[in-house]
């Protein structure tokens, strides 16, 4: 189109002359995008946690309390004989205690000073990884039957719980996002409709001098897209700040490393801008389309 | 009106004709063949109208309120489609015209409204330029053409004024400039003198007359008999949806 620049300028002018409604649209769209983003980030973190569990692909098998080292080695040899075992590494109880003291830090580790050597309450253990995760449960059951085995640190329960949580978040998030999307579309198309009614005279004049439907449409679509882009940028900024402070708080409480924002930043911002832009454009197309079809089609208003 | 201005206007229109002859060239005959229009609520607005307007004619359309004049204009501009009959503009049958082609038909027409329809937040220059933006004119063309057209309607000094700063007559001349800026072959004026002082009415019709002299067909809807009598042009009278009189001079031939 020859005068695309002119139409672009018109779109920007629309936003300014209708700034209160534009601001309302930005607010609603920001809330929608923020909730969407939060749900996506939550889901991504759960997936990452599950992958970590799956990635370690292992269980820790603790020997019975007071089991001599020699018997523990024998038990280890029997575990290794099972067909689904990829690796089987012995972790002596002294090593386990040392690692625990490292985790507690220099100051708190002094509490465990008297629990070394013979007084070490921790059992010997094996770190075992599997070849095939689908045989996870049967292999764990077979290990359980081997003599000398005390308990098994089984992650399958956590994985199941995380899967369930992820499903709830995904399903709930989907409906919330769908609802908010519809609300956002409604608000944006209404904002644009208000602009359109205030510019009825201009549209009539445009139509009387031979403007095509697209000439009338473009400024409104541009308006919607700019509202969407602003909302995308604002919500992306807010989510960056919130996620940053939330992950700092979580990592100080729980031993969990969430996905770093730096790894998501580019994709997240691009997705937000794109989503905002699409929503805005769609809002514009819907409202002006309906107007041109029903009321302003070929109206000159003689 | 002083002689200098008329000389300028005549020269301008001649130059104008040479300048853009390719646009909308060819006969722009308007033909109504047995046209009727019934609105969905049952109102019969036009009833078996037969009418032919030749290229380059100046026609006054007269009639009481509700006679069907607006419907007549709506049908020519394709705002409405006839229930029965056929309308031709040039060689184009309007019944065959797709919705997407209506804007291109309208680009051959200039429209002047009783209520001026100027955009209040725009200056005189911008109001006229706006019509050129719509048809995709370049900035260079707009910069060249708008001052020229404003000169034709003697508003070159008011280019930066807003409509509220102008008199009714001046506002209507802006409307006329906007209608002319895309060099139409047909000018449709719906009571262009309805909102201006009687003294200025003649000036507006004088201007339309000059535009008609360069070959632009003019259809002017009016209630003012004094104008019709003074300008001695073809008069078509519509009453209750039918053409009840059609003459070259008022009162000469009545159907």
Q: Could you tell me if A164 and A190 lie in one domain? A: yes
Asked if residue A153 belongs to a domain, the reply is: no
**Residue numbers in B near A11 (CB within 8 A):** none
User: Does residue A9 sit at the B interface (CB-CB below 8 Å)?
Assistant: no
So what's the pLDDT on residue B1?
A: 42
CB B206 within 8 A of CB B1: yes
On average, the pLDDT of chain A sits at: 82
Strand, helix or coil at B109? strand
So what's the pLDDT on residue A300?
A: 72
More confident site: A61 or A187: A61
Q: Specify the range with the lowest mean pLDDT, choosing from A212-216, A288-292, B87-91, B233-237.
A: A288-292
On average, the pLDDT of chain B sits at: 85
Give this prediction's pTM: 0.67
Average pLDDT of span A275-296: 80
Q: Could you tell me if A84 and A223 lie in one domain? A: no
Residue where a domain terminates, one of A118, A147, A176: A147
Asked if residue A278 belongs to a domain, the reply is: yes
Asked if residue A287 belongs to a domain, the reply is: yes
More confident site: B109 or A96: B109
Does residue B21 register a pLDDT over 60? no
So what's the pLDDT on residue B5?
A: 44
Asked if residue A299 belongs to a domain, the reply is: no
Find the Cα–Cα–Cα–Cα dihedral A216, A218, A221, A227, rounded to 10°. -110
CB B152 within 8 A of CB B12: yes
- Which one of A205, A210, A213 has the shortest CB-CB distance to B104? A210
- Report the chain B residue with the minimal C-alpha distance to residue A218: B134
Does residue B177 register a pLDDT over 90? yes
CA distance A95 to A93: 5
- Which one of A210, A213, A302 has the shortest CB-CB distance to B190? A302
pLDDT band of A294, cuts 50, 70, 90: low
Q: Could you tell me if A277 and A232 lie in one domain? A: yes
Reported as a single tens digit per residue, the pLDDT across B106-117 is 999 999 999 999
Q: Could you tell me if A180 and A277 lie in one domain? A: yes
User: Does residue B174 sit at the A interface (CB-CB below 8 Å)?
Assistant: no
The vertex-A297 CA angle with A293 and A300, nearest 5°, equals: 155
- Which one of B102, B134, B136 has the shortest CB-CB distance to A206? B134
So what's the pLDDT on residue A44?
A: 81
CA distance A167 to A163: 6
Q: How many beta carbons lie within 10 A of that of residue A256, not counting itself?
A: 12
Average pLDDT of span A224-251: 89
Strand ranges (E), chain A: 58-63, 85-91, 125-130, 149-153
CA distance B75 to B32: 10
Reported as a single tens digit per residue, the pLDDT across A142-156 is 998 998 898 888 776
Specify the DSSP class assigned to residue A216. Answer: H
User: Does residue B73 sit at the A interface (CB-CB below 8 Å)?
Assistant: yes
Asked if residue A126 belongs to a domain, the reply is: yes
Does residue B250 register a pLDDT over 80? no
Residue where a domain terminates, one of A120, A147, A174: A147
Q: Could you tell me if A172 and A267 lie in one domain? A: yes
Structure tokens at A4: 């695309």
Q: Could you tell me if A131 and A217 lie in one domain? A: no
pLDDT band of A194, cuts 50, 70, 90: confident
Average pLDDT of span B78-90: 92
So what's the pLDDT on residue B124?
A: 97
pLDDT band of B235, cuts 50, 70, 90: very high
Does residue A233 register a pLDDT over 90? yes
CA distance B128 to B143: 11
CB contact under 8 A, A209 and B70: no
**Chain A interface, best mutation among B108, B136, B176, B187, by max A CB count within 10 A:** B136
Residue where a domain terminates, one of A100, A119, A147: A147
Q: How many CA atoms lie within 13 A of B241 on its CB side?
A: 13
CB-based contacts of B47: which residues, under 8 Å, 6+ apart?
A: B36, B68, B240, B241, B242
CB contact under 8 A, A298 and B178: no
Asked if residue A152 belongs to a domain, the reply is: no
CATH value at residue A78: 3.30.70.3040
**Residue numbers in B near A302 (CB within 8 A):** 70, 73-74, 77, 79, 113, 190
For the domain covering B3-17+56-78+100-247, report its CATH number. Answer: 3.40.50.300
If contacts are CB pairs under 8 Å, which of residues 196-225 in chain A contact chain B?
201-202, 204-213, 215
Asked if residue A269 belongs to a domain, the reply is: yes
When divided into structural domains, chain A yields a total of: 2
Structure tokens at A168: 């709830």
Q: Could you tell me if A39 and A187 lie in one domain? A: yes
Does residue B144 register a pLDDT over 90? yes
**Chain B interface, best mutation among A6, A209, A215, A219, by max B CB count within 10 A:** A209
CB B36 within 8 A of CB B68: no
Q: Could you tell me if A182 and A47 lie in one domain? A: yes
Q: What percent of chain B has pLDDT over 90?
A: 62
User: Does residue A299 sit at the B interface (CB-CB below 8 Å)?
Assistant: yes
Q: Could you tell me if A18 and A117 lie in one domain? A: no
Q: Could you tell me if A246 and A274 lie in one domain? A: yes
Reported as a single tens digit per residue, the pLDDT across A253-263 is 776 778 887 88
CB B164 within 8 A of CB B119: no
Q: Could you tell me if A126 and A238 lie in one domain? A: no
CB contact under 8 A, B79 and A299: yes
Reported ipTM: 0.78
Q: Specify the range with the lowest mean pLDDT, choosing from A97-111, A202-216, B45-59.
A: A97-111
Q: Angle at which helices B124-134 and B168-180 pack, to 10 degrees?
A: 20
Q: Could you tell me if A28 and A69 lie in one domain? A: no
CB B114 within 8 A of CB B195: yes
pLDDT band of B13, cuts 50, 70, 90: very low
Q: Which domain holds residue A190?
A: 4-53+159-294
Residue boundaries of the structural domains of chain B? 3-17+56-78+100-247
Does residue B125 register a pLDDT over 90? yes
pLDDT band of A1, cuts 50, 70, 90: low
How much helix, strand and coil, in percent to the nearest 5, is found in chain A?
A: 75, 10, 15
């Amino acid at each position: 189109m020859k005068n695309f620049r002119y139409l672009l300028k018109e779109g920007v002018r629309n936003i300014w002359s209708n700034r209160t409604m534009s601001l309302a649209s930005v607010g609603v769209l920001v809330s929608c995008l923020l909730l969407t983003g939060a749900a996506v980030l939550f889901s991504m973190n759960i997936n990452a946690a599950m992958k970590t569990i799956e990635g370690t692909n292992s269980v820790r098998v603790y020997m019975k309390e007071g089991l001599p080292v020699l018997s523990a080695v024998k038990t280890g040899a029997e575990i290794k004989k099972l067909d689904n075992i990829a690796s089987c590494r012995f972790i002596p109880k002294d090593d386990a205690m040392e690692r625990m003291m490292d985790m507690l830090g220099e100051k708190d580790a002094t509490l465990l000073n008297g629990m070394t050597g013979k007084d070490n309450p921790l059992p010997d253990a094996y770190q075992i990884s599997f070849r095939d995760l689908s045989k996870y449960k049967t292999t764990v059951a077979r290990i359980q039957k081997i003599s000398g085995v005390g308990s098994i640190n089984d992650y399958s329960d956590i994985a199941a719980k995380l899967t369930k949580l992820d499903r709830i978040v995904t399903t709930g998030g989907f409906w919330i996002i769908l609802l908010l999307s519809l609300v956002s579309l409604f608000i944006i198309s209404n904002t644009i409709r208000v602009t359109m009614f205030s510019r009825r005279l201009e549209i009539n004049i445009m139509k009387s001098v031979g403007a095509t439907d697209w000439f009338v449409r473009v400024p409104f679509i541009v308006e919607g897209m700019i509202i969407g882009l602003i909302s995308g940028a604002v919500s992306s900024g807010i989510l960056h700040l919130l996620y940053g402070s939330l992950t700092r708080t979580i990592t100080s409480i729980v031993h969990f490393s969430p996905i770093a924002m730096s790894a998501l930043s580019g994709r997240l911002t691009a997705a937000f801008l794109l989503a905002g832009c699409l929503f805005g454009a769609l809002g514009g197309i819907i409202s002006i389309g309906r107007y041109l079809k029903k009321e302003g089609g070929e109206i000159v208003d003689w | 009106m002083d002689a200098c201005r008329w000389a300028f206007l005549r020269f301008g229109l001649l130059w104008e004709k040479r300048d853009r002859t390719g646009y909308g060239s060819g006969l722009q005959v308007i033909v109504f063949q047995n046209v009727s229009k019934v609105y969905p609520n049952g109102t019969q607005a036009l009833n078996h109208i037969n009418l032919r307007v030749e290229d380059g004619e100046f026609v006054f359309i007269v009639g009481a309120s509700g006679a069907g004049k607006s419907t007549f204009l709506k049908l020519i501009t394709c705002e409405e489609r006839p229930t029965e009959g056929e309308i031709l503009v040039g060689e184009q049958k309007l019944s065959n015209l797709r919705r997407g082609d209506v804007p291109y038909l309208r680009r051959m027409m200039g429209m002047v409204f009783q209520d001026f329809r100027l955009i209040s937040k725009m200056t005189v220059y911008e109001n006229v330029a706006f019509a050129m933006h719509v048809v995709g004119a370049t900035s260079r063309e707009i910069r060249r053409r708008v001052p020229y057209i404003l000169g034709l309607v003697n508003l070159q000094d008011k280019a930066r004024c807003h409509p509220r700063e102008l008199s009714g007559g001046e506002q209507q001349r802006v409307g006329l400039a906007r209608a002319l800026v895309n060099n139409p072959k047909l000018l449709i004026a719906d009571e262009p003198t309805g909102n201006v002082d009687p003294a200025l009415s003649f000036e507006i019709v004088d201007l339309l007359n000059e535009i008609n002299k360069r070959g632009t067909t003019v259809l002017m809807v009016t209630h003012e008999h004094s104008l019709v009598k003074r300008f001695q042009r073809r008069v078509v009278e519509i009453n209750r949806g039918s053409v009840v009189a059609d003459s070259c001079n008022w009162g000469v031939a009545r159907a």
